[in-house]
Amino acid sequence: MNARLAAASVHLLTASGVVWALLALRAAHAGDWQTMFIWLGIALVVDAIDGPLARHFNVQSVLPGFSGERLDLIIDYLTYVAIPAFALTQADLLPDEFRLSAAFAILLSSLFHVANVHSKTEEGYFVGFPAVWNIVLLYLFALQPPPYVSLTVVALLVLLTFVPILCVHPFRVTRLRLPTALVTIAWTVAAASAVANPFPSPFWVQAVLLGTAAYLVGVGAFRSLSEARRR
C-alpha cells in the first residue's frame, strides 16, 4: 500500500470517532443506554488500535503536516468525557439537583487532564485520574449504587484528576504486562456482558468489574507509593 494512503487511512480511522460520538449522543438523548455503550465501545476499540497502526505505518513522518495526536485528543474528549457527562445529566444515576453541576465538573476537570503535558510518565502511567468517564459511566450503570454514592464517586474522581497519583495504562505499561493483559481481557468480557444485558448487571459481571478495577487501581497505587519513597 502507498505510504501516504496508509497514513491517511489511519487518520481516517481515528477521525471516525466523531461518527461514533454522534451516534452515542443520539442514543443517550433517547435514553437507549445499551446502544450508547455499543457506540462508545466501538470508539474505545478504535482508540486502542489507531496508535499502534500509526506507529507501524510511521504516520508522523509520512504526513508531518497533520497531527494525529491532536486529532486523537479531540476524539477522546468527545467519547471519554463529553458524551458521558451528557449521559449523566439524562440518566437516573445522580441526584437530580446535582446532575448538571457534576457534568460541568467532569467537563472542566477533564480539560486539565487533556491539556496537561505531564499527564503521562515515560513508563506509560497516567498521572492523576485519566478522565476515563466512559468507563466510570459503565460502572455506575452496571452497579447502580444509590445516587449520592454515585455522586461521591464522581466528586472523588474529579478531585483525583489534580492529584499526581499513577494510574495504569493497560497497553503501555511494561511492568506486569502479562497479568495486566489478562485482567484487561477479563474486564473486556465483563464489560461486553454488561452492555449486552439490562442494567444493573448480573452479580458475576459486577464482581469481575470490581475485581479488575481493584487490580488496576492497586498496581497504580503501589507504583505511586514506590515513587514517593524514592523522593
Provide φ and ψ at 105, rounded to 5°. Answer: -65, -40
Cα–Cα distance, 192 to 230 (Å, whole number): 40
Model pTM score: 0.93
Q: Where are the alpha helices (DSSP H) in the chain?
A: 3-15, 17-29, 33-56, 59-62, 68-76, 83-90, 99-115, 133-143, 147-160, 177-196, 203-230
**29 strand-pairing partners:** none
Cα–Cα distance, 58 to 61 (Å, whole number): 6
Quickly state the pLDDT bin for 88 (edges 50, 70, 90): very high
Provide φ and ψ at 110, rounded to 5°. Answer: -70, -30
Domain extents in the chain: 1-90
Instruction: Specify whether the CB–CB gap between 21 and 83 falls below 8 A.
Output: yes
The cell for 163 is 492529584
Quickly state the pLDDT bin for 151 (edges 50, 70, 90): very high
The closest alpha carbon to 11, from 70, 77, 79, 78, belongs to 70
- The three-class DSSP label of residue 127 is strand
Provide mean pLDDT across the span 93-121: 94
Query: Which residues have C-beta within 8 Å of that of residue 207, sequence separation ≥ 6?
Result: none
Task: Output the pLDDT for position 193.
Answer: 97
Average pLDDT, the chain: 92
Q: Which of 110-114, 157-161, 176-180 has the lowest mean pLDDT?
A: 176-180
Instruction: Report the half-sphere exposure of 112 (CA within 13 A, side-chain side).
Output: 16
Cα–Cα distance, 32 to 24 (Å, whole number): 9
Task: Output the pLDDT for position 219.
Answer: 87
In this predicted model, what pLDDT tens digit does every residue of 26-61 receive, in sequence order?
A: 999 999 999 999 999 999 999 999 888 888 888 888
- The three-class DSSP label of residue 163 is coil
Instruction: Specify whether the CB–CB gap between 113 and 161 falls below 8 A.
Output: yes
